[in-house]
């Protein structure tokens, strides 16, 4: 992949428009996970050291386009960054499309780009307004690289210079390392609610990985091939496809599960074998025998790709499977890559950030890259590179 890199440009006193991925979970105005913000900081710090004028833009959640909603405001993120960069003048702007004036080393955080009409449809007029804010557009949001929107794609077409930020470059480099020439044995863990959204990923990983461990609603669909799994979340329309994958590849499916009758934080867990699950029970985590089975697999692995929790980790009685995976990977010497919003929350919960080789900020982009899809923002940066060379 040939792209202009921010680190190769002279950015001194230039106005940089950095598209970061600051789409973090916020509850009652309090940020629940700072992982994506902290991942974006090194790029900002490079720009500060080189006396650039810095504009940072991001989306947050899924507000109705063109309408301000307080719960989707980037103000809490601005307040957090202000503390992290206390030695720098940092501003917040919700009225920026007609231009911004900054001095070198000053930073402005723009309000949620999804409040702007035309953002989602990649509107040319909006893209041009973004491009007019800067000398250089820096695409550094791997987590949004699969979106063909004004702030991720369109702006790059109209900017004087469009380049890739260090975080984006690093994400691509680490993912390519794990997918193209992994050290073996390689294990992939694929969790989450819907198997239908991850069939392509499962197929792709199955051709690369030595073992795939499935959890969550995805595992339930595999279990439903042979068993009645009560009121567990699964997708009956995809059972036949799940059977094909199971019969073709080395897929580790739970041999026992923690179940409960109510989806509640206080629900007690009961361990059941697949053929003993009652009609009023739902699977919410791995059972002890399944956990015992996967520990040696993970310990032997030299490369691990992890996307998604394997149970309802938010509930204390149903987090054992996810916690075991997190802590076993943390203690491993394998090259490990973890990605996806819920996975980032798990990493924060168990405080294992420093023991994962690489934490991808991407969710959908992470999965699409693994599938082998061309991400629109990366295509745009490659086209920009061709025009300049």
User: Which of 215, 341, 362, 363 is flagged as catalytic?
Assistant: 341
Torsions phi, psi of 112, nearest 5?
A: -40, 120
217 among the known binding-site residues?
no
Known active-site residue 244: no
Residue 272 appears among annotated catalytic residues? no
Distance CA 218, CA 198 (A): 8
DSSP-H helix ranges across 181-238: 199-208, 216-223
CA pair distance 363, 343, nearest whole angstrom: 9
Question: 17 a known binding residue?
Answer: no
- Tell me whether residue 343 is annotated as binding: yes
Q: Is the peptide bond before 185 cis (omega within 30 degrees of 0)?
A: yes
* Residue 192 bears catalytic tag: no
Residue 23 assigned ligand-binding role: yes
To the question of whether residue 21 is assigned a binding role by annotation, the answer is yes
> Using CA atoms, how far apart are residues 386 and 24, in angstroms rounded to an integer?
34
Q: How far apart are CA 333 and CA 377, in angstroms?
A: 33
Sheet architecture: strand order including 270-272:
270-272, 257-260, 282-286
For 291-306, give one letter per residue: b (16+ CB within 10 A) or e. bebbeebbeebbbbbb
Task: Give, in order, the Cα–Cα distances in Å from 325 to each of 162, 175, 253, 359.
Answer: 39, 20, 15, 15
Is residue 142 a contact partner of residue 43, using CB atoms and an 8 Å limit? Answer: no
114 annotated to bind ligand: yes
Q: Is 308 annotated as a binding residue?
A: no
Compute, in degrees rounded to 10, the torsion defined by CA atoms 9, 92, 381, 172.
90
Q: Catalytic pick from 36, 105, 246, 258?
A: 36
Q: Rounded CA gap, 179 and 304, in Å?
A: 10
User: Is 266 annotated in some ligand binding site?
Assistant: no
Residue 59, marked binder: yes
Query: Which of 273, 245, 249, 248 lies closest to 259, judged by CA?
Result: 273
Q: Is 36 annotated as a binding residue?
A: yes
Known catalytic membership, residue 215: no
220 is in an annotated binding site: no
Q: Catalytic residue, from 5, 194, 243, 373: name it.
A: 194
Q: Which among 82, 157, 327, 364 is annotated as catalytic?
A: 364
Does 322 show up as a binding residue in the annotation? Answer: no
Q: Identify the sign of the CA torsion 311, 316, 321, 324.
A: positive
342 marked as binding residue = yes
Binding residue numbers: 21-23, 36, 59-62, 114, 147, 198, 314, 340-343
Instruction: Give catalytic residues, as residue numbers.
Output: 36, 194, 341, 364
Binding residue numbers for substrate: 21-23, 36, 59-62, 114, 147
Binding residue numbers for (2R)-3-phosphoglycerate: 36, 114, 147
Binding residue numbers for ATP: 198, 314, 340-343
């Amino acid at each position: 992949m040939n792209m202009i890199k921010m680190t190769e440009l002279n950015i001194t006193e230039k106005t940089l428009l950095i598209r970061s991925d600051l789409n973090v979970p916020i509850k009652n105005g309090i940020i629940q996970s700072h992982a994506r913000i902290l991942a974006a900081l090194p790029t900002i710090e490079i720009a500060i050291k080189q006396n650039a004028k810095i504009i940072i833009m991001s989306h947050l959640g899924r507000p109705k386009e063109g309408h301000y909603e307080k719960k989707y405001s980037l103000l809490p993120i601005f307040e957090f960054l202000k503390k992290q960069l206390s030695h720098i003048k940092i501003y917040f702007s919700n009225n920026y499309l007609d231009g911004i004036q900054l001095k070198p080393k000053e930073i402005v955080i723009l309000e949620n780009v999804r409040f702007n009409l035309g953002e989602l449809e990649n509107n040319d007029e909006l893209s041009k307004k973004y491009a007019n804010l800067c000398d250089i557009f820096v695409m550094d949001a791997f987590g949004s690289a699969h979106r063909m929107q004004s702030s991720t794609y369109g702006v790059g077409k109209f900017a004087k210079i469009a380049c890739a930020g260090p975080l984006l470059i690093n994400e691509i480099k680490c993912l390519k390392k794990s997918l193209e020439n992994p050290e073996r044995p390689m294990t992939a863990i694929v969790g989450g609610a819907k198997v239908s959204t991850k069939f392509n990923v499962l197929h792709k990983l199955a051709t690369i990985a030595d073992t795939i461990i499935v959890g969550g609603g995805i595992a339930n669909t595999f279990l439903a091939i042979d068993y009645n799994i009560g009121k567990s979340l699964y997708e009956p329309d995809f059972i036949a496809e799940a059977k094909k994958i199971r019969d073709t590849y080395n897929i580790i499916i739970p041999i026992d599960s923690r179940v409960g009758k109510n989806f509640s934080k206080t629900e007690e867990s009961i361990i059941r074998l697949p053929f003993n699950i009652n009609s009023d029970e739902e699977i919410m985590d791995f059972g002890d025998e399944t956990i015992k089975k996967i520990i040696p697999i993970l310990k032997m692995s030299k490369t691990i790709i992890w996307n998604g929790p394997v149970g309802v980790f938010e509930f204390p009685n149903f987090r054992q499977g996810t916690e075991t995976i997190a802590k076993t990977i943390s203690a491993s010497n394998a090259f490990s890559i973890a990605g996806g919003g819920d996975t980032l929350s798990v990493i924060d919960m168990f405080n294992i950030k420093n023991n994962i080789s690489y934490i991808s900020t991407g969710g959908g982009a992470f999965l699409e890259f693994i599938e082998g899809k061309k991400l629109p923002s990366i295509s745009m940066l490659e086209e920009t590179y061709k025009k300049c060379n």
